[in-house]
């Protein structure tokens, strides 16, 4: 499975296409990739950031979660490391 962090620019209806940036987090980890992604985003634009779990290489499907969902899940995992 590949893991990507992605940023989609939030654009008005008059624009046809906004920025899309994808960084591979598979080797470096989501936290490091998020830090790298945020360092290259244009501060004058707004983005939706998501974590994309891609299983196409193994004939599976993809899932995604927002940055907020990821951070919340990470916080919960730290509070309950054994899932209980």
**Contact of 7 with 37, CB cutoff 8 Å:** yes
Domain boundaries, the chain: 2-79
Higher-pLDDT residue of 66 and 79 is: 66
Q: Which residue has the tokens 């499975």?
A: 1
By residue count, the chain amounts to 84
Higher-pLDDT residue of 81 and 75 is: 75
For 39-66, what is each residue's pLDDT tens digit? 999 999 999 999 999 987 888 889 999 9
Question: What was the pLDDT predicted at 58?
Answer: 81
Judged by phi (left if over 0) then psi (alpha if -120 to 50, else beta), residue 55 lies in alpha
Residue 15 — very low, low, confident or very high, per pLDDT cuts 50/70/90? low
**Contact of 54 with 4, CB cutoff 8 Å:** yes
* φ and ψ of 11, to 5 deg: -125, 160
């Amino acid at each position: 499975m590949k893991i990507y962090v992605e940023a989609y620019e939030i654009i008005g209806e008059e624009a046809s296409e906004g920025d899309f940036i994808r960084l591979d987090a598979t080797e470096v980890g989501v936290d490091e990739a998020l830090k790298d992604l945020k360092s290259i985003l244009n501060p004058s634009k707004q983005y939706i950031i998501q974590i994309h779990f891609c299983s196409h290489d193994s004939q599976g499907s993809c899932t995604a979660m927002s940055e907020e969902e990821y951070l919340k899940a990470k916080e919960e995992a730290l509070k309950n490391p054994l899932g209980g």
